[in-house]
Amino acid sequence: MSSADSPQSPRNCGLKVFWDDQLISYDFGPSHPLNPVRVELTMALAREYGLLDAPNVSVEQFATAGDDLLGLVHEDAYIAAVRHAGATGLPELKHGLGTPDNPVFLGMHEASALVAGASVAGARAVWAGETEHAANVSGGLHHALRGAASGFCVYNDVAIAIAWLLDNGAERVAYVDVDVHHGDGVQAAFYDDPRVLTISLHESPRTLFPGTGFPTEIGGRGAHGSAVNVALPPGTSDAAWLRAFDAVVPPLLREFRPQVLVTQHGCDSHALDPLAHLSLSVDGQRTAYAELHRLAHEVSGGRWLATGGGGYELVQVVPRAWTHLLAEAAGRPIDPATATPEPWRDFVRERTDEIAPRRMTDGAGTVEVHTWAEGYDPANPVDQAVLATRRAVFPEHGLDPMMDI
């Protein structure tokens, strides 16, 4: 067997995509930034490329998460409040329901529980060995807290999926969050649990919601080092972001040795995103997806659950970014120079009255990655941020924060 055909090769992967058209019912209304058209366009683009019909890929149905699953992370009173608000349309402000960020919509509980059900089904499929990889592009609602909605997120599907894994025998789960916003809800859910390593690369909390995710947030008593936060300065672009990723994520995952890798792929780190201030391209994001895929095979036996997340440039960014994610997870990466299919561009015009991007690249194609080992620059704000994180958490894992400098 050649290395290209090895079961550990990212080019030979089973992928289950958990999707139901009802997932677009997670809808805060036409004026809200989190418009479900973004996932509708993503799935349409993936279909046009034939990704969902590939022999190693299947689109799977799944059950809505019941109160037993939701209760792994959320308080009973909160679940009841979501159900009541979604049935009546009335706000539950003490639970964060009815705010500008989290307006109430009819069917809120059912729509949110469906998203959670997709992520749990993905976790179950990976843990049971039914597939190497699973994906839920509608998921990644990482801000929801135990007793409150936050940041467009009602139920924290990724935290629920991780909690399900722990309840079903997993001893070490790693969560890597590349959304521009700090993965605060997932961190909070497992802050005192050394079985879960949460790593979040995000824009500095000094300039962006939710105002958390400083390097000094390293986990609670008995779990020091289990929370890892890389707080990057506004304007960080592809090369610098990927350098920060290289400096933190691979060494910690290799040391932690997770049995499952769970990832959140918010693409609001893009330069065009209207709600944040990083400057990545689709090409840089695609490079990160490929590295996470490779790491899943290296550190967790290929067991990988990938979810969506934030992303508010609904046409130019999200569909291409997450189609690249699905293609990568399927072991069928799309050449960034590839033209987007004309039927998809027509569909975009029909659904949004916007002109779709014509290629799967922003023009950079392959992004050159300058690794941390190439040298530390004490005057560089990104390098300063990275070193702050390494100093805060590397010793907790028996690693030297100055290694590779």
Q: List the catalytic residues.
A: 143
Task: Single out the residue of 285, 225, 390 nearest to residue 400, CA to CA.
Answer: 390
The token pair at 115 is: 């998203």
The token pair at 36 is: 């479900």
Task: Single out the residue of 178, 300, 299 nearest to residue 245, CA to CA.
Answer: 178
Residue 381 vs residues 145, 238, 308: alpha-carbon distances, Å: 31, 15, 28
What dihedral do alpha carbons 313, 314, 320, 322 form, nearest 10°?
Answer: 100
Q: How many C-beta atoms lie closer than 10 Å to residue 394's C-beta?
A: 21
Q: How many C-beta atoms lie closer than 10 Å to residue 332's C-beta?
A: 17
The full length of the chain comes to 405
Whether cis (ω within 30° of 0) applies to the bond prior to 210 is yes
